[in-house]
Amino acid sequence: MSLGIDEACFSIVNKYNISVMLYSYLSECYLCNGVPRATLLASKNTTLVIPTKYPLHVFYKTNYEFCHTTYNFKEHGSYGWNISQEDLCSDIYTIREPINSYLPIFVAFMVFTLLWVLFATCKVIVRVVKGKLSPDSVHDDLDRLQEAESSNPVIRTSRVNTRIRSVDTFRGISILLMIFVNNGGGKYVFFNHSVWNGLTVADLVLPWFAWIMGLSITISKRSELRVSNSRGKIILRCLQRAFILILLGLMLNSIHTKSLKDLRFPGILQLLAVSYFVCATIETIFMRAHSQDDLLQFGRFTVLRDILDSWAQWSIIVAIATTHTLITFLLPVLDCPKGYLGPGGYHLFGKNANCTGGAAGYIDRLVFGSHMYNKTHNPVYGTILPYDPEGIMNTISVILVVYMGVHAGKILLLYYQCNARIVRWLLWSGVTGLIAGILCHFDKESGVIPVNKRMMSLSFVLTVSCFAFLLYAILHFFVDYKQYWSGAPFIYAGLNPITLYIGHTITMGLFPWAWKLTYATHWSLLAMNLWTTTLWCIIAYWLYLKDVIISI
């Protein structure tokens, strides 16, 4: 029997003298009824191909007996199960050992580590030979950026040299991880988005990109206000950039659309455009151009000046988040319970099969109709209603993520000492993580608001912000302050993230970025997806060498 990725062979010997119906459902399916899997003929051996991504619940029932068991099947393994009246609910046994499906990840990690060591060694050797191995007296990138903005531009400098390296490194990590995930992530569960509730590596990339976009808003708007630009003109430029991003997003959506009737309106670039415009506009209106000149204005509360400096902005953001939460839990949806956050389908034993996404899904279907993400098959929950992960409610939710980044940028600007910055970022990481944990009861399926990327739930937004604050604090310390790491190779991708995103979307599946595989395995898919990501990293490095930064 030929087995594909994440599949195993399951042979069941029915020793009853009657036929038995076998039911199953994946453990990832929360409070689900079993789905009929096969009819086990009397005194026969039935062989099935079963999925192995998640543990599988299997059970059968006769007129007098019921047997249920859960087993974690492994890829390409062969398993057996004998069912009989004499040995009710016997153990599932292994006929042929499974393969190690995680070995490709270990090998890939070792290969990239070896290449990095070789590259670093060669770089040191070249410096020694050329006599350039000398101590550096490099200033903080933020100070250099502010110098470049305020000084008379007599000496021509590279555009790359006036940027904050940790920001580009963070952005580069997000975009390269996004490219890797969008191309398949080797078909590993943790490199793909969660089925519904929960959090994987893939779920982090878009919110992280939105978060670092918020941090960049703070730096860019402060710079524009310092050169006495009109606030109205700045807002118009923000609107122009948002419009261009929306237009590019619609163009990308049209690649696989047969007609305008099916053109999807929401999308990643559209979501980023709206959240960018809202946060950038709020900052442009309320930001003071020279906060550093008023350090004593808060008196004994100077230590909290990053918060007090933006109380008006936070009031608006909290109001937006509160409105989003109230709509989610109070908006009545026909034949659905208020505050439902599930996927519908098999969820909760099928009681809310037509309530996919609750209020958020209802609003998207009402506003967009057929112009939205229209896939209705969920690999775990079966048939569900159309639901768009970048819909209206999710876009509103992402505004909070972006503004978390905006506030991280304020900490970067308002405090000169590295310790002061890092302590505050770590505190924000701890607070947002704690609140998220309280909301979801530190569990995937429990709590008032579960962690859910597809709905951009409040607990999810706070969780990803927690990790973003933590990651940026680490990058700032190692890249900007101690300069133990240059940020390569991620820093190159962070210079042109939108270019890389559009480019990888257009070329997805095309040679030489990808090719058709005769027999796909984790080995071949992981190698191809890593090659795709690496190739885009090489393209980003070439743009860096040419000092090309394509901005919108």
Q: Mind telling me the catalytic residues? A: 193
CA dist 66 and 60 (Å) reads 6
**Residues 6 or more apart from 47 whose CB is under 8 A from it?**
1, 9, 10, 11, 12
Identity of the amino acid at 66? F
Instruction: Report residue 305 as tokens.
Output: 């000046």
Smallest Cα–Cα separation from 37: which of 66, 63, 12? 12
Identify whether the C-beta of residue 387 lies closer than 8 Å to the C-beta of residue 351.
Answer: no
Spell out the SS3 assignment of 22-44.
Answer: EEEEECCCCCCCCEEEEEECCCC
Q: Terminus-to-terminus CA distance in the chain, angstroms?
A: 53
Smallest Cα–Cα separation from 398: which of 339, 341, 461? 461
Give helix then strand counts, H and E, for the chain.
15, 10
Question: SS3 of 329, please?
Answer: helix
Instruction: Report residue 54 as tokens.
Output: 């998640």
Rg (CA), the chain: 27
Find the helix packing angle between 165-182 and 497-507, rounded to 10°.
10
Instruction: Report residue 197 as tokens.
Output: 């509730």
Identity of the amino acid at 404? M
Smallest Cα–Cα separation from 522: which of 7, 2, 1? 7
Instruction: Report residue 289 as tokens.
Output: 């151009």
Residue 76 C-beta-side C-alpha neighbours within 13 Å: 11
Alpha helices in 227-310 (DSSP H): 231-253, 268-286, 305-308
CA dist 366 and 369 (Å) reads 6
Strand partners, 133: none
* Exposure letters 308-339 (e unless 16+ CB within 10 A, then b): ebbeebbebbeebbeebbebbeebebeebeee
CA dist 166 and 143 (Å) reads 13
The burial of 461, by beta-carbon neighbours within 10 Å (0-12 exposed, 13-18 middle, 19 or more buried), is given as: buried
Distances (CA, A) of 547 to 160, 216, 241, 279, 413: 7, 20, 22, 29, 26
DSSP classification of residue 196: S
Identity of the amino acid at 442? F
Question: SS3 of 377, please?
Answer: strand
Question: SS3 of 397, please?
Answer: helix
Alpha helices in 254-353 (DSSP H): 268-286, 305-308, 311-330
